[in-house]
Structure 1
Amino acid sequence: MQELMQIGLGLLGGLAIFLYGMNLMSGSLQEAAGERMRSILAAVTKNPVLGVLAGALATAVLQSSSATTVMAIGFVSAGLMKLRQAIPIIMGANIGTTITAQLIAFKLSDYVLGIVFAGFIIMTLAKQSKTKLGGRALFGFGLLFLGIDTMGGVMKPLAENPVFTDMIAQVTGVPVLGVIVGTLMTVVVQSSSATIAVLQNFAATPGPDGASLIGLEGAIPFLLGDNLGTTITALLAAIGQSRDAKRVALAHCVFNLSGCVLFSFLLTPFAVVVAAIPPAGPEVEVIARQIANAHTLFNVSMTALWLPFVSVMERIVMALLPEKPRRPRDPLMETPFAPDAAAA
């Protein structure tokens, strides 16, 4: 019982460090480059391809698909951008957010504390605000990996627990359960990057037979659920906004949900394609990179599928969220009441 409590606290503590590091890094980068990203998004949205590239660039720089999505919702709500222009940005944001998983796949355990120390020194001693923000971003980046290492360390005893491994085997044997668990985790944590980091760490943990606890094909449904769960942020950001702004958030849901359904039916061939992408080696050593590659390939593929049909996506979300019917006018209510005339 005490061991399970230590594992639980270790996971929660590691996740807290990861989220704090991610928010610190993302917040610093947004403060340093946010205005420039806003101007880029506003300038290039007339061309759908440029919109995708702008959304991907903004998300890669800001390290937050939520920030890019919220910007797009804000532009549409303010009337600075049309729904059709915002949809490619949402697609690009999905591609840009995969950069985080790719960074996490690098094994930086030996350098984590050095990165934290360097970031701390820069943000403490720097005089210029841009340099100080860069130091904060580097400090957050180091904390992000420190949280990953913490979670990875406490997961190792779980791999030797037969009850836990049997439970995981049952979940991974039913892809729908994996999708549901991944979705719920992301909805609760409000960060797909965090849940994908947990997934990468967990998949890289060897089981009793030395192989990955869940394997690539078992990890992909969790990954699909993570992508689906991240749409909750856009939905929350659209509350109280204009009708078109709500449709932008809904387009994000349609995009990720359609991909989740499609790739659930293509699970085995998708896993084969991802496994064929370098690097090669023992599954436990390369699966974190494979999950990152699967994340990128999923979002790039769905963008390639949907980009020629942006107008179709627009019609779908407008059908799902139509204009509110106008109330018929009451002539009696529109007749002004003139008390002086009535008195006369």
Structure 2
Amino acid sequence: MSDNLEISTMLFSLFGGLAIFIYSMNLMGDGLQKAAGEKMRRILEVLTSNPLMGILVGTLVTMIIQSSSATTVMVVGFVSAKLMTLPQAIGVIMGANIGTTVTAQIVAFNLGDYAYLITAIGFILFFFFNKKIIKYIGQTTFSFGLLFVGLNVMSNAMKPLAQSEVFTDIIYCVSNNPILGLIVGALVTLILQSSSATTAVLLNLAREVGADGQALISLQGALPILFGCNIGTTITAILASIGARINAKRAAMAHTIFNVAGSILFMLFLPYFAKFVAFISPKGQEIEVVGRQIANAHTSFNVINTILWLPFVALLAKIVTFIVRGEEDTEENRVLYLDYKILNNVAVAMDLATKELTRMAELARKMMANAKKAIINSDTDAAKKVHEIEDIVDMLQTEIIKYLSTMLSQSALTDRQSVRLAGLMHITNDIERMGDHCKNVAELAMEKIDRDLPFSKEAISDLSNAFNKLNDMVDHSIQSLSEGNISLAKKVLAEESEIDKLETDLRDRHIKRLDSGLCNPASTIMFIELIHNIERIADHCNNIAEAVLEDLENNSASPGTDSSPATDIP
């Protein structure tokens, strides 16, 4: 009975320590993202067609967010949204594999003796300081110390296990059968959904002294398990690609081929790779250096595998295109950019929402072009097109608001992000209202056609001129939204005043035409309603510009000046 209780206690301690480790990794990634500032969301935008740049960016992003799986899921989402090409995605995925090895290097330093000191310092920085940047550094430091607390708990649980003959026999079978080790590494990573966690457990096991007085797992015994970790981590990308567009599936397949092919190749040269790792690692007794050797093996495997594949990125893209066949759809009647799988990365998710908003605004712009055509040329087909596009705009409004609301409920937003999210919600409604006014114009056009109401040449000229000025204003507001352009946003504000003045002038000119008998009195109400709708569209463009300006002005403020009270706990 006591033996069973002791085994249960050890297992609970082991899994408890593992839970603390995984939680601290996620918390540290969140703190690093916040400390890096809002500009981190722009990192992926520097990508070019050069795969080397993609590798560097993938490495950097993964080092910041502390998860190759999160980077890969993000990449799959970007490919699905057509924000990234397949070759670019392959480069970033390769870099993500390198970036994730940083965690193993940190763990290999074995700072367990300082775990509680680091955790205490992090807690003080987070809890007693109000400046956001210090709080974020505190969160990162706290989680860094907590990471080693989890490792200490796991290590204490493993010490008695290492002396168990049954456990030692199991480890001996796994470490002396490379194929079995590969399978175990893959399965454990599949379950934990984190190659870093599997590697941390492997490092801790290797540091324990077995019943024979030697390291529980040798370097050569640990390598197949390590290779299996790289295979197991590909399942995250595969799951993320389910239901995504075909190029996203190809990106996930590229990740799988890259890791599986690399693992098989290194298995064939296992003894030589083990000698290489031992050569570049510190020298000494195995029990003292095996942790550093495993960390170096993890980094070396991913760096060498990336170097080997780098010249063949284009070939890999062709291979996955051949394996995952099909054509990219051109469907416009659905969401293109919103991806719920990356809501945990708020900055990137907001950028995707902005791109969907820009697309929604461009559709409203098409509605306006067709509304103008309908009223000026008495074109019934153009009027029908306005109604067709309006259904898409309404759908996008619903989906964008739902996406932003989910983000608000699932994520802890910074003050800066809260302001931006509120602005995006207001912009969504403004764009939808622009579409409504375009629909009003189309309905007035149909009424004009049905009732055969005549408009004078002067009235048609005035309306055409008003639509042209409005067209410029809408274009400027869309461009300011998509590019974050301050000068264009300010230009929209000035143009709105011109449209207000133009509405008054057009009304006065129409009254004069009525007095002189140039215009039909029956068309007066319709003309007034038309110019009112034009003015209302301009008002919504103005609202969009104001939201963009507020966002950019908040973004220019330094996060270090924020003195809001500390209310959240890491």
TM more than 0.5? yes
Deviation, 1:45, is 2.9
Which digits, 9 at most, give the CA deviation of each residue in 1:110-154, with x for residues without a partner? 210011111111111221222212211111111111101110111
Indicate the residue corresponding to 2:312 in structure 1: 309
Query: In 1, distance between residues paired with 2:175 and 2:321?
Result: 36
- Alpha-carbon distance in 2 for matches of 1:181, 1:12: 17
Distance across 2 between alignment mates of 1:283 and 1:35: 44
Residue identity (%) = 54
Change beyond 3 A, Cα 1:139–1:253: same
Alpha-carbon separation, structure 1, partners of 2:131 and 2:22? 26
1:38 corresponds, among 13, 31, 41, to: 41
Deviation sequence 1:153-190 (CA, Å, 0-9, x none): 11111121112212221222211111111111111111
Does the aligned pair in 1 maintain the 2:247–2:328 contact within 8 Å? Answer: no
Matches for 1:209-228 after TM superposition, within 5 Å = 209-228=212-231
Question: Of 46, 50, 56, which aligns to 1:47?
Answer: 50
Give the counterpart of 2:32 among 26, 29, 33: 29
Q: Deviations over 1:279-328 (max 9, x none)?
A: 111111111110000000000011001010001110111111111599xx
1:60 aligned to 32, 56, 63, which one?
63
The reply to whether residue 7 of structure 1 matches residue 7 of structure 2 is no
Contact (CA 8 Å) 1:65, 1:94: kept in 2 or not?
yes
Amino acid at match of 2:206: A
Hey, what's the Cα distance between the residues in 2 that align with 1:195 and 1:53?
24
Q: Which residue of 2 aligns with 1:338?
A: none
Structure 2: stretches of 5+ with no match in the other structure: 330-570
Q: 2:516: which partner in 1?
A: none
Q: Distance in 2 between matches of 1:210 and 1:4?
A: 22
CA offset digits 1:26-53 (Å, max 9, x no partner):
1222344375333222213321111111
Larger radius of gyration: 2
* Separation in 1, partners of 2:120, 2:328: 59
- 2:128 paired residue among 125, 129, 132: 125
Q: Once structures 1 and 2 are overlaid, which stretch shifts more, 286-295 or 132-141?
A: 132-141
Greater length-normalized contact order (CA 8 Å, ≥ 6 residues apart) = 1
Hey, which bits of structure 1, 4+ residues long, moved more than 4 A?
none
**Structure 1 pair 36/236, CA: closer, same or farther in 2 (3 Å)?**
farther
CA contact (8 A) 1:34 1:62 kept: no
Aligned residues of 1:178 and 1:225 also touching (Cα < 8 A): yes
Pick the aligned partner of 2:278 from 275, 278, 301: 275
Alignment correspondent of 1:329: none
Q: Counterpart of 2:208 in 1: which secondary structure?
A: coil
Structure 2 residue matching 1:240: 3-state secondary structure: coil
Is structure 2 residue 179 aligned with structure 1 residue 176?
A: yes
Tell me the distance in 1 between the aligned counterparts of 2:137 and 2:328: 50
Q: Match of 1:98?
A: 101
Q: Which AA in structure 2 matches 1:201?
A: N
Partner of 1:334: none
- The alignment of Structure 1 onto Structure 2 pairs a total of residues equal to 326
* One-letter code aligned to 1:294: A
TM-score of the aligned structures, taking structure 2 as reference length:
0.56
The yes-or-no answer on 1:81 pairing with 2:92 is no
Post-superposition CA distance 1:90-117 (Å, at most 9, x none): 0011011111100000021221001111
Q: Distance in 2 between matches of 1:302 and 1:34?
A: 32
| 8 Å CA contact 2:112, 2:151 repeated in 1 | no
Is the contact made by 2:69 and 2:236 (CA closer than 8 Å) also made in structure 1? yes
Q: Could you tell me which residue of structure 1 aligns to residue 142 of structure 2?
A: 139
Distance change >3 Å, CA 238–CA 130, structure 1 → 2: farther
Instruction: Give the root-mean-square deviation of aligned CA atoms.
Output: 1.5
Residue 322 of structure 2 aligns with which residue?
319
